[in-house]
Amino acid sequence: MYNFDVIFDRFKKINFQVIITILVIVSISTIAQSADIIIDKQTSILGENQVEISINIDNLTTGTEYSGFDFLVAYEPRYMGVSKIEAGEIINMENYEWEYFTYRLEFDSNCNSGDCPKALIHIFGQHSLDFQNPGNGQYINASGEVAKLNFIISYNREVECRFLPISFYWQTCQNNILIKTNSNVDISNHVFDYTGDDITFDQELPSWTGASEQCQISGVERTINFYNGGIDISCVDQICHQGDINLNSLLYEIGDYILFENYFVYGLGVFNINVEGQIAATDINCDGLPLSVSDLTYLHRIIIRDMPPY
């Protein structure tokens, strides 16, 4: 098991030694784009679901190769929790074989405004831990998935119809960077909100709007566009098509009850027609919480005519 702080400190000394030794900060200039880093946007997520969000790299300039990265991503912990973070396909593929990928979660209990994130995911990847003799694995030189963020959504009436943003955040100049094979560092050129609006703005760190002017030093280039993403939670009236769990166009049947009951014994595998549609149909009381015992009880009472449909 590698120690994140030890590796990260070593990484900083090698790739950011110019911060200590070079005192002249060069002026900001726009350089040809090297790549886009994009956080996925997912929509119409049902309650109690685990949602996977990818961080992707796209539109790489021909000849560009990266040997490492550091991403800092903010999310809203009131409505979503992190279940796991995994390396993306592009650094797990055969011949890539990156030696190091890790993350840590950071929380700020003193953050009470939109100017600071309450929760952060710090993700770090390195092609080789031996900087003098790197392995034979392949560098990032093509579009693909860099990391997978798995969230559990706490779905209730408060969160319905909301968009839950997942955004890049800059605490220091070492956040949200890509390291080239020659040890030069690429930082943000533009930052785009989840709506597609360009929110780039030069201000002192910490910031939501990109690396500041103080980060522009020798060996550092502004070539990366960062795109924020998130999760769009459906409104209850958009997903509430309850009662026809076996999708035979007949509502509140014994067959629907038996299928729903089997879910509690055998799990989601019983829904083999249209999983998302069948899950939505189990929200019998239309409270935005499908797959609940209260829904099964309500369905039983509807079938025996003890209660009317919702």
User: Which domains, from first to last, does the chain contain?
Assistant: 4-233 (2.60.40.680), 240-303 (no CATH)
Q: What is the mean pLDDT of the chain?
A: 83
Residue 50 forms beta bridges with which residues? 152
Structure tokens at 222: 């502004």
Other CB atoms within a 10 A radius of the CB of residue 24 amount to 6
Structure tokens at 147: 């990391």
Coil/strand/helix, residue 266: helix
Instruction: Based on DSSP, count helices (H) and strands (E) in the chain, helices before strands.
Output: 7, 13
Q: What does the pLDDT look like over 284-306, one tens digit per residue? A: 988 878 899 999 999 999 999 88
Helix (H) or strand (E) holding 297: helix 293-303
Cis, peptide link before residue 309, omega less than 30° from 0: no
pTM over 0.75: no
Q: What does the pLDDT look like over 165-177, one tens digit per residue? A: 999 999 999 999 9
Cα–Cα distance for residue pair 67/84, rounded to 1 Å: 23
Q: What does the pLDDT look like over 237-281, one tens digit per residue? A: 555 568 999 988 889 999 999 999 999 999 999 999 988 889 989
C-alpha to C-alpha distances, 121 to 75, 127, 137, nearest whole angstrom: 8, 20, 26
What is the per-residue pLDDT for 238?
55
Answer yes or no: are the C-beta atoms of 88 and 146 closer than 8 Å. Answer: yes
What is the per-residue pLDDT for 136?
63
Coil/strand/helix, residue 230: strand
Which of the two residues, 210 and 113, has the higher pLDDT score? 210
